[in-house]
Structure 1
Amino acid sequence: MTTEPTALTPTRALLDVLDLGPDATEPDTFTGTSLPQPSGRVFGGQVLAQALLAAGRTVPTTRLPHSLHGYFLRAGDVREPISFAVERLRDGRSFTARRTHALQGGAPILSMIASFQEEQPGLDYAEPMPDAPDPDDVVSADTHLAGIDHPVARFWSQESAFDVRHVEGAIYLGGSGEPTGQQMVWVRSRETLPDDQLLHRALLAFACDQVMLEPVLRRSGHSWATRGLSIASLDHAMWWHRDVRVDDWLLYTQTAPSAQGGRGLGAARVFTRDGTHVASIAQEGMVRVPD
């Protein structure tokens, strides 16, 4: 009797992609693969998370990332491996800086600088989390997209490693109410994850790329279904303020401060379910819609 191999869950598939292999011939160089995408292009959040993990492999485990700044330079091909070359910029008494280039075919698709810090005492305060309904009372993207036989709908509702719940209603299929640059989204991984703080911070970078530019669309009355929409991440800045677990519910409170020149800026603060401010994020993207 033969046993059919068990299919990978979306969470397991993501963890496998984030498990980078060291290059035996080049120091501080790692190789990764990509998750399948309906577009055939590498998901920006994936390569960002991989670049951060590659940098973290060259840093003492007592130092965790507190910030990153990255530029998406070219579209990546999900069929080709990605090489991650880490440059050691500085090793100070408290802080460590690394630059990671993600390369395909010898050309960079992402360039990122991340800073890591030893845990240290200091000032400790944060603005409170705004009022929001409990995630159990918010409809999941799985429900919004249920029964839609389309590769993109299946990807976000069945193949994503994260459960995404829009407080104001999702904008996958059309606009939701009056145009507004405000958005709140609950996000959590579908499965329990290893107790590895570097991994959780990298996964937060992965997950946020799914929603960072949505307030730009909301404010202009558009949605992911807008005919002729062309959208892509250009750059990404992120600050981790406190430890985070992406297998607990996280609330993204988002705004869209500006859009111009075919670009839009999205900003977010991330809170735990009990109101702890764990991260702040900003991302600018190319956002083009038909005239």
Structure 2
Amino acid sequence: MASPKARIEPHVAVIPAPELGPDVYTNANPLTLHDGPRPVFGGFLISQALSAACATVPHTFQPYSSQSSFLAPAKGDEKITYRVQRTREGRNFLTRVVHATQGVDCVHVAVISFQSAACSTGVNALEYGTPKPELDQPPEDINPDAIQALQSSMLDRSASVMQQSAEDRPLDWRPHSIEMSDHPTQLRVRGYVRSPTPLSTSDSSTHLAAFAYASDEFFFGPALAANPAAVGKGFRNVTMGASLTHNVSFHDRNAKIDQWVVLERETTWGSAGRVMVQQKFWNLQGKMILSGSQEALIRLKGANI
């Protein structure tokens, strides 16, 4: 009997669409838990583009980089088509460009790079990484409802994310701390995340796609939390927030999304209506497994952007 799928697995899954041509895929499951044309969460696009690209490379290659641009809002009640271009075929490195479309509109583009296992292990290479922050409370000691409580303290109840129940969420987030300062760039958000149930597969591409999904959840929140006076209580002065670009580097091909990982996020810049946020993930043993950045549009009341 096959193991039951974890809630994150349908979110990152794609299926071939050979009737549309070679190397074409579409989402295997609905893109939203809610009815109607609500815009699609970017994590769906990032992770499913990665899954589509992974389906076109030999199993001996694993992704090490995903560079994405969000071009237009995707509608939750329409299928997304992922067309994969085999841009480079090298002995040790491969590149895929994925265009995600709805109808005639391209809503998302991703450049995804792969490295062979033979080239990434057993080589004479530099070995280092930013140390994991030492958190004084393990994830098991943090209330599973803490993420909902944190959102409730910061967001108006009408926000779409506030309509999610614990059963809606594919990942278990346990916030640990928010280190505040007078300067936005000194803010640090730290916590833990994992899939609450084991994945039904040990396939590394599925786990990495799930990490790609996780890398977009709550991501530009630190830019808002770091500027409380400007955004207002409950972010009432924010009229728009949208991701523009999203980049992920995978540092451990064997990382497992169903094991606790530590994350830290910060905002490094804000100007011209845009903000930049950085993140890092580590396993509990201290190995860095992911890092990334996102640039987002933040529009405040009265802004002419």
Aligned partner (choices 58, 61, 64) of residue 60 of structure 1: 58
Specify the code of the residue in structure 1 equivalent to 2:190.
M
Asked if 1:257 is matched to 2:240, the reply is no
* Deviating more after overlay: 52-61 vs 226-235: 226-235
Q: Against the structure 1 CA distance between its residues 228 and 69, is the aligned structure 2 distance closer, same or farther, given a 3 Å change threshold? A: same
- Give the structure-1-normalised TM-score: 0.86
1:233 deviation in Å? 0.8
- Give the structure-2-normalised TM-score: 0.83
SS in 1 for 2:86: strand
1:24 deviation in Å? 2.1
* Deviating more after overlay: 69-78 vs 236-245: 236-245
- Structure 2 Cα separation of the partners of residues 224 and 90 of structure 1: 48
1:262 deviation in Å? 1.1
2:17 aligned residue:
23
User: Identity of counterpart residues, as a percentage?
Assistant: 27
Specify the code of the residue in structure 2 equivalent to 1:27.
P
1:196 aligned residue:
203
1:259 deviation in Å? 0.6
Specify the code of the residue in structure 1 equivalent to 2:189.
Q
1:110 aligned residue:
108
Specify the code of the residue in structure 2 equivalent to 1:28.
D
Specify the code of the residue in structure 2 equivalent to 1:182.
R
Specify the code of the residue in structure 2 equivalent to 1:241.
H
For each residue in 1:53-107, what CA deviation from the matched residue of structure 2 results, as whole angstroms up to 9, or x when unmatched? 0011000011000001010000000100000000000110100100000000121
1:141–1:156 contact (8 Å) kept in structure 2:
no
SS in 1 for 2:234: coil
For each residue in 1:129-166, what CA deviation from the matched residue of structure 2 results, as whole angstroms up to 9, or x when unmatched? 121132223343145568x9766324163311111122
Specify the code of the residue in structure 1 equivalent to 2:167.
Q
1:5 aligned residue:
none
1:36 aligned residue:
33
Structure 1 unmatched runs, 5+ = 1-8, 171-175
1:15 deviation in Å? 2.1
Aligned positions, number: 276
- CA RMSD in angstroms comes to 2.6
Structure 2 unmatched runs, 5+ = none
* Deviating more after overlay: 133-142 vs 50-59: 133-142
2:47–2:213 contact (8 Å) kept in structure 1:
yes
